[in-house]
Amino acid sequence: MSALLAVLPLLCSGETCETRAGCASCLSGADADGVSPCKWCYSSRRCARNDAPSSDLCPIYATHPAVCACEPSVQGECHTCVSKLDCVWIEEGTMNMTSKLPGAFSVARARSWDGVCWSGSMFAGPTRVMDVVAPSVGYKVVTTRQATAWYWGQCALKNHSFAWTLLLLLVATFAMGLAFRAMTVSNEERRAPEPGAIQF
């Protein structure tokens, strides 16, 4: 229902999703819940109405503008993806789609979510975004994603391993700095003349 309400301003303005070019333009005008009146299809690189039913021609789509900076169709490999600090490379993941029908009926299915560039950060990992598509009143498709293996900033250490490695290096560097400072102060104290001593 929220997707239908989001489409109403678009219909009243006379603008269509199909005329929007690019992910950012397509997903602009999202409501407070992040639901856009349009959805961006990665495979066809086209914009469509959010209340339009999905098909095999558009297996991976987005309705949240937060993912536009890391479009999978643009950042096609790990090294290209992680060169942007606000993107993470999804090596392994699952995309869960739940079709909620009128009443209490729902149908769930899962598909692989591998080899995708997604928005995220070193500590938080991939941005958790829930896409909602409502083809008709009382029926909507909710898509959630879960990444089991992802990279940020490099393509060797998975998940939070890189963040922990950087943190340990920072702590070790700080500890070495303190130890060096303490050793320097100790040497200076040993070299300092005792009070009352005559210096030649």
Quick one: pLDDT at residue 195? 59
Task: Tell me the DSSP string of the chain.
Answer: -HHHHHHHHHHHHT--GGG--SHHHHT-S--TTS--SEEEETTTTEEEETTSPP-TT-SSEE--GGGGGG-TTTS-SHHHHHTSTTEEEEEEEEEEEEEE-STT-EEEEEEE--SEEEEEETTTEE----EEEEEETTEEEEEEEEEEEEESSSSSS-TTHHHHHHHHHHHHHHHHHHHHHHHHHHHHHHHSPPTTPPP-
Quick one: pLDDT at residue 3? 43
Residue 6: pLDDT band (50, 70, 90) is very low
Higher pLDDT pick, 139 / 50: 50
CA distance 17 to 50: 9
- Percentage of residues of the chain with pLDDT beyond 90: 12
CB-facing half-sphere around the CA of 200: CA atoms within 13 A = 0
Higher pLDDT pick, 136 / 57: 57
Domain chopping of the chain, boundaries = 2-159, 161-190
Higher pLDDT pick, 78 / 190: 78
Please tell me the pTM assigned to this model.
0.64
Quick one: pLDDT at residue 141? 75
For the segment 31-47, what is each residue's pLDDT rounded down to a tens digit? 765 667 888 887 788 89
Task: Say yes or no to pLDDT of 12 above 50.
Answer: no
- Percentage of residues of the chain with pLDDT beyond 70: 71
Task: Say yes or no to pLDDT of 74 above 80.
Answer: no
Quick one: pLDDT at residue 11? 45
For the segment 94-133, what is each residue's pLDDT rounded down to a tens digit? 888 888 777 767 888 888 888 888 889 898 888 877 676 6
Tell me what the pLDDT averaged over the chain comes to. 77
CA distance 83 to 64: 22
CA 109, 102, 135 angle in degrees (round to 5)?
70
For the segment 145-184, what is each residue's pLDDT rounded down to a tens digit? 888 999 999 999 999 888 888 888 888 888 888 888 878 8
